[in-house]
Structure 1
Amino acid sequence: EEETRRTRRAKEEAERKAREAAELARRVQAEREELERQLRRGIQPVVRPTLEEIRLAKAKVQYDDAMFHFAVAGIAGSGKSSLINALCGMNNSDPNAAPTGVNETTMEISRYVDTTHPEQFAWYDVPGSGTLGTPDWQYFNSQGLYVFDCVLVLVNNRFTVTDQAILRNCHHFQIPTFIVRSKSDQHILNLMMDMGFDSDLEDTDSREQFFNIARERYISGTRQSVKDNLATANLPDQRVYIVSKKTLFSAAQNRQPMGLIDEVELLTDLYSVAYRSGRFA
């Protein structure tokens, strides 16, 4: 009789495991079919990583629970490496600086220690979208952006599909994001040239007038463009920080640079997010 009971229990346990396996397979198939439906409809799905994927992603970037980890992402050529150097208090010529160039120089996630906060902050230069052969909607997961404590998204005048996917995924995972437009000094100069400015012909007063008008147009145009792009993508409204690497570098060195736009506010808000995390005593 005891043998019969053991046999019955073993059979019931086997049947239970078979039902659980069948239910798991059903859920996986349903999720796969839903992802395929979303892709056919042009919707970029949010895919939650497994615990093992999270563990491996943290190991890859040398994640340290005692530090705060900032990732800088965006399209190739948006100025990610120069921005990281400025935020870390380094010139592009510094031997420890992130490499910069006309073409995308970042093909693997690279880690940099903030020289002004070496025990607290780590910065990561993420390969630009469009350089790795990865579909836009998979960029967030393929780069392991879900393990970072904060993500800066560098944008140009119009959001890419990848920009939208990063912001949407960060919102889903409750990761703080900062939208940043860099190279502002160059963009303002380009606007001045479009307005008819000629450095060989204009005097100082004329140059200042051209600069002030172009600067205001650039700032207001950028803010409105980001607002419109967020609305079009059905993303929550948020501020865009308009900066130039030279001015940001000086601000990170606690200097008082000329031509400030949002550099000081960006640094202040980044540090505030880090310190509010409760990671530092």
Structure 2
Amino acid sequence: MQRGITQAVAAGCWLASKLFGSGGSDPNPTYAAIQEREWAEAERDRAIKDLANTRAQVTQLVQTIQGMQNRALQFQQDALSAAAVAQQRNQEQMTAMVAAERAANAARFAAENAARLATEESKNKAKEAEAERQRTQAAMEGARRAVEAVQQDAERLQRAAEEEKKKADEAIAGAEAARKAAENGVREATAAKEDAERRLKEGIQPVVTPTPREILAAQEKIQYQENLFHFAVAGRAGGGKSSLVNAFRGMSNRAVGSARTGVIETTLTVGRYPDPDERCQHVWYDLPGAGTMKIPDWQYFNAQGLYVFDCIVVLFDNRFTQTDIAILLNCRRFKIPTYIVRSKADQHIRNIMKEMGYESDDENFDRTQRSAMYVAAREQLVEETRRNVKANLAEANLPDHKVYVVSSSCLRTVAKGEQSPRVIDEINLLNDLYMEAQARRVRREESEGISTSEIGPK
């Protein structure tokens, strides 16, 4: 209650400052100042109303305390009634002792025990009544102090309002200066943003070459090892990077040691996931999504240290965007092998089938019709995806690039060495990735004079 009253008083102080702050010495107030004054007057009335409500709450608290006193008296009456009942029981037991001599001892013991229990119960109720009375007195004292605090706070509020009125003119002048400065800052930031977006659309990206120290720091960050092949899955936020990393490793999203997945962007730092098969010298990396407020498109490549990875999978979901173009341009500059992958193929195929008129609960569709419609939707998805990517690459002056259309569930099945009836590009993607890793390993070991007779993919 005390905190609620204090908050009401604090709100009143602030409202009073707004009310008296808008009534400066300016004989020609602006329309904004008039509006601010009207708003402040409304807030003052609301503060007064809140104070009245607080007083009503105090009155209600006093009524509650009175009710607690009544219950305390009732507890005392119950204690007296319990004692009377105990006394009556004692008399009845004494009479029974006279009438039945054989059961005299047992009856006497029972009567004494019952009397003892009744006495203890009476004492306990008396103690409870006394405790209730003390709590009631404490509550009444708290209410009295709360009323006094309200009065004192009201006086402080009045004094604070008078002081704030004196500072109102200076505050208005400072606010106006701050507003003008903020408008200038917004205009400059907007111009810079528009220029950066224009340059990005035109393919003019800031060229930032990492220093040797930055390269070493990036390698240490991902725990880079020369005897391992480091795959990175990059792309815009929400594209399914974590699910794809789990699928590459043949793991479900809920398995122990899998990359965390979710509806929103859940990967905030680089996740390092070794292959479950210890014989495979592959490490998978789940990178935070690009295109967020924290990671702008053009800074994504250098910010995540992508220049230290051996291979980068550029993942996209619905559209091939400028983020993907920026990654490919930088990968080309650093001569890093890249693989363009469109994820969530199963979802896209279902959406295309619905556009064709398919409904899963429609009994008119038999298995043959559904299979034919699935094949048509899959071909449409693959053709549209590759056409879209090819057009975007040509617009960015990049050479044509192979595109893989996959679903995480099917890729996970293939990665585990099992067969799936709905394979699109999953097998080709895994083979190409592992062939790239094998080729790099062969080149490195040949340069070091190491035998490659037992080298092979997973």
Aligned to 2:285: 124
Structure 2 letter corresponding to 1:72: V
| Alignment pair present for 1:220 and 2:363 | no
DSSP-derived class of the 2:398 partner: coil
Contact 2:239 2:315 (C-alpha < 8 Å) held by counterparts: yes
Question: How far apart are the structure 2 equivalents of 1:160 and 1:41?
Answer: 15
Taking the aligned partners of 1:146 and 1:132, their CA distance within structure 2 comes to 22
| Structure 1 position 118, deviation (Å) | 5.3
CA contact (8 A) 2:320 2:388 kept: no
Which of 383, 388, 400 aligns to 1:237? It is: 400
Which range moved further: 233-242 or 125-134? 125-134
Change in 2 beyond 3 A, CA 1:90/1:192: same
SS in 2 for 1:218: helix
Distance 2:207 2:322 in 1: 13
Distance 1:59 1:277 in 2: 21
Structure 1 residue 249 displacement after superposition: 0.8
SS of equivalent residue, structure 1 residue 77: coil
Residue 205 of structure 1 pairs with residue 368 of structure 2: yes
- The answer to whether the 8 Å contact 2:291/2:323 transfers is no
Partner of 1:105: 266
- Partner Cα separation in structure 2 for residue 61 and residue 273 of structure 1: 20
CA drift at 1:133:
1.9
Corresponding pairs, count: 244
Q: Does 1:246 align with 2:409?
A: yes
Tell me, yes or no, if the aligned pair for 1:45 and 1:137 is still in contact at 8 Å.
Answer: yes
* Higher alpha-carbon deviation: 205-214 or 92-101: 205-214
Shift of 1:48: 1.0
Contact 2:240 2:317 in 1 (8 A): no
TM-score (norm 1): 0.83
**SS of aligned partner of 1:131:** coil
- The equivalent position to 2:425 in structure 1, one of 237, 247, 262, is 262
Query: What is the deviation of 1:119?
Result: 4.6
- State whether residues 232 and 285 of structure 2, in contact with CA within 8 Å, keep that contact through their aligned partners in structure 1: yes
Structure 1 residue 135 displacement after superposition: 2.5
Match of 2:240 among 76, 79, 84: 79
Corresponding residue number in structure 1 for 2:205: 44
Q: Secondary structure at the match of 2:340?
A: strand
Query: Given residue 171 of structure 1, which amino acid in structure 2 is its aligned partner?
Result: R
**Residue type matched to 2:435 in 1?**
S
Q: CA RMSD in A?
A: 1.6
Cα deviation for residue 156 of structure 1 reads: 3.1
Query: 2:327 and 2:359 mapped to 1: Cα distance?
Result: 40
Residue 7 of structure 1: aligned partner: none
- 8 Å CA contact 1:107–1:132 kept in 2: the answer is no
**Cα separation, partners in 2 of 1:229 and 1:41, compared to 1, 3 Å:** closer
Unpaired segments of 5 or more residues in structure 1? 1-37
For 1:273 and 1:193, the matched residues in 2 are separated by 38
| Equivalence map 1:38-187=2 (5 Å) | 39=196, 41-42=199-200, 43-116=204-277, 119-131=280-292, 133-187=294-348
Q: State the Cα distance separating 1:114 from its structure 2 match.
A: 1.1
Distance in 2, matches of 1:215 and 1:143, equals 34
For 2:184, the equivalent position in structure 1 comes to: none
SS at match of 1:277: helix
| TM-score normalised according to structure 2 size | 0.52
The CA distance in 1 between the partners of 2:265 and 2:307, in whole Å, is 23
After superposition, the Cα gap between the structure-2 partners of 1:276 and 1:147, relative to the gap in structure 1 and judged at 3 Å, is: same
Return the letter of the residue paired with 1:141.
Answer: N
Asked whether the equivalents of residues 229 and 437 of structure 2 are also in contact (C-alpha less than 8 Å), the reply is yes
